[in-house]
Structure 1
Amino acid sequence: MLDIAGELTRWAEEGRDFAVATVVAVDGSAPRGPGAALAVDSEGTVIGSVSGGCVEASVYDLCVQALQDGETVRERFGYSDEDAFAVGLTCGGVIDILITPVDARSPARRVIRSALSAAVRNEPTALARVVRGPAELLGRALLVHADGSYEGSYGSGPGPDRTGLDRTAAAEARAMLDAGRTGTLDLAEDGSRCPGGLTLLVESSVPPPRMIVFGAIDFAAALVRAGKFLGYHVTVCDARPVFATRARFPEADDLVVDWPHRYLRHTATDARTVLCVLTHDARFDVPLLTEALRMPVAFVGAMGSRRTHADRERRLREVGLGEDELARLRSPIGLDLGARTPEETALSIAAEIVAARRGGTGAPLTGSATPIHRDTGQRNVPARAAQAA
Structure 2
Amino acid sequence: MLDIAEELSRWAEQGRDFAVATVVAVDGSAPRVPGAALAVDTDGTAIGSVSGGCVEGAVYELCGQALKDGEAVLERFGYSDDDAFAVGLTCGGVIDILVVPVRAADPARRVLLTALTSAARGEAAALARIVSGPRELMNGALLVRDGGRYEGGFGAHPELDRTIAAEARAFLDAGRTGTLEIGALGSRCGAPLTVLIESSVPPPRMIVFGAIDFASALVRVGVFLGYRVTVCDARPVFATRARFPEAHEIVVDWPHRYLESTPVDARTVLCVLTHDAKFDVPLLRLALRLPVAYIGAMGSRHTHLARNERLRATGVTDLELTRLHSPIGLDLGARTPEETALSIAAEIIATRHGGTGLPLTGAHTPIHHDLPGTARARRIGSVA
With normalisation by structure 1, the TM-score equals 0.94
Q: Helix, strand or coil for the counterpart of 2:153?
A: coil
Q: Which residue of 2 aligns with 1:43?
A: 43
Q: Which residue of 2 aligns with 1:348?
A: 343
Q: Helix, strand or coil for the counterpart of 2:250?
A: strand
Task: Give the deviation of 1:85 after TM superposition.
Answer: 1.5
Q: Is the 8 A contact 1:237 1:260 kept in 2?
A: yes
Amino acid at match of 1:23: V
Question: Does residue 218 of structure 1 match 2:217?
Answer: no
Q: Which residue of 1 aligns with 2:176?
A: 181
Percent identity among equivalent residues?
74
Selected match of 2:242 from 240, 247, 250: 247
Question: Does residue 117 of structure 1 match 2:121?
Answer: no
Task: Give the deviation of 1:244 after TM superposition.
Answer: 0.1
Selected match of 1:167 from 158, 162, 169: 162
Task: Give the deviation of 1:377 after TM superposition.
Answer: 3.9
Q: Could you list the runs of 5+ residues in structure 2 that have no partner in the other structure?
A: 376-384
Task: Give the deviation of 1:379 after TM superposition.
Answer: 4.1
Q: Helix, strand or coil for the counterpart of 1:97?
A: strand
Q: Is the 8 A contact 1:165 1:188 kept in 2?
A: no
List per-residue Cα deviations over 1:247-280 (Å, max 9, x = no partner): 0000000000000000000101010000000000
Change (3 A) 1:94 1:187: same
* CA RMSD, Structure 1 to Structure 2 (Å): 1.2
Distance 1:248 1:356 in 2: 29
Distance 1:140 1:356 in 2: 38
Distance 2:274 2:158 in 1: 55
Q: Which residue of 2 aligns with 1:34?
A: 34
Q: Helix, strand or coil for the counterpart of 2:238?
A: coil
Q: Is the 8 A contact 2:265 2:292 kept in 1?
A: yes
Task: Give the deviation of 1:91 after TM superposition.
Answer: 0.3
Task: Give the deviation of 1:197 after TM superposition.
Answer: 1.4
Q: Which residue of 2 aligns with 1:256?
A: 251
Range with greater deviation from structure 2 (102-111 or 82-91): 102-111
| Structure 1 residues 1-389: aligned runs within 5 Å | 1-155=1-155, 161-188=156-183, 190=185, 197-379=192-374
Distance 1:218 1:6 in 2: 32
Distance 2:68 2:178 in 1: 29
Number of matched residues? 371
Amino acid at match of 2:274: T
Task: Give the deviation of 1:353 after TM superposition.
Answer: 0.4
Structure 1 segments of 4+ aligned residues over 6 angstroms from their partners: none
With normalisation by structure 2, the TM-score equals 0.95
Q: Is the 8 A contact 1:165 1:189 kept in 2?
A: no
Q: Is the 8 A contact 2:353 2:372 kept in 1?
A: no
Q: Is the 8 A contact 1:180 1:206 kept in 2?
A: yes
Task: Give the deviation of 1:113 after TM superposition.
Answer: 0.4
Q: Helix, strand or coil for the counterpart of 1:270?
A: coil
Q: Helix, strand or coil for the counterpart of 2:180?
A: strand
Q: Which residue of 2 aligns with 1:385?
A: none
Distance 1:59 1:122 in 2: 28
Q: Is the 8 A contact 1:334 1:351 kept in 2?
A: yes
List per-residue Cα deviations over 1:172-215 (Å, max 9, x = no partner): 11111111111112213549xxxx71111111111100000000
Task: Give the deviation of 1:315 after TM superposition.
Answer: 0.7
Amino acid at match of 1:286: V
Q: Is the 8 A contact 2:71 2:139 kept in 1?
A: no
